[in-house]
């Protein structure tokens, strides 16, 4: 039986140390999920502070990153646990952005391979990219067509719908941040 590759674990532990140093400085918190005091480095909780001047301002949204033992050669999957209405987030919460697409995935006309996952990217890169689409969605390649349509046709109504949902789904960060 093949032995697990320890590279992913070393990389994720290094990223955890860097994220502890940042401590929310860039508008997000991320850490491995803990069960009974044990770290699960393959599942991370991510808390994103809603970007200023966006419908998410003043809210904290909960997401998760799920890694495989092939990380960093393969990207993780990201899913919002807070319910979202956003052009680049599927109804089930899965995030659809280029950097989470593997370079070997099928050809996508609107994406260059350079926009896709690369092992030099990390949890910070992913979270900053997601924060940027919360501020300015990419409506050219929507995961949620209804959200993209409303954004295009009536941005005020879109922003109200997003704002109401974000306020309802916002979490209390103090409950989740580990000391």
Neighbours of 97 (CB within 10 A): 21
Catalytic residue among 95, 96, 123, 134: 96
| CA dist list (Å): 57 to 20, 110, 120, 125, 145 | 23, 30, 30, 20, 23
Nearest residue to 127 (alpha-carbon basis) of 88, 169, 78: 78
Please tell me the distance from the alpha carbon of residue 76 to that of residue 85, in angstroms, as a whole number: 22
Please tell me the distance from the alpha carbon of residue 148 to that of residue 152, in angstroms, as a whole number: 6
Decide if 96 is catalytic.
Answer: yes
Nearest residue to 126 (alpha-carbon basis) of 95, 104, 150: 95
| CA dist list (Å): 18 to 13, 24, 35, 125 | 9, 11, 22, 13
The total number of residues shown for the chain amounts to 179
Query: Which residues are catalytic, by number?
Result: 96
């Amino acid at each position: 039986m093949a032995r697990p590759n320890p590279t992913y674990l070393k990389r994720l532990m290094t990223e955890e140390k860097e994220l502890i140093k940042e401590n929310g400085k860039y508008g997000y918190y991320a850490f491995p999920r803990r069960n009974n005091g044990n770290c699960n480095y393959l599942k991370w909780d991510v808390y994103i502070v809603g970007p200023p001047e966006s419908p998410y301002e003043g809210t904290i949204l909960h997401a998760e990153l799920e890694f495989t033992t092939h990380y960093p050669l393969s990207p993780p999957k990201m899913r919002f646990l807070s319910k979202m209405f956003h052009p680049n987030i599927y109804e089930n919460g899965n995030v659809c952005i280029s950097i989470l697409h593997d370079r070997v995935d099928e050809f996508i006309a609107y994406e260059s391979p350079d926009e896709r996952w690369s092992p030099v990217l990390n949890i910070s890169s992913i979270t900053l990219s997601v924060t940027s689409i919360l501020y300015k969605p990419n409506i050219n390649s929507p995961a949620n067509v209804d959200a993209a349509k409303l954004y295009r046709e009536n941005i005020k109504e879109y922003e109200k719908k997003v704002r109401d949902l974000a306020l309802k789904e916002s979490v209390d960060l103090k409950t989740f941040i580990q000391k």
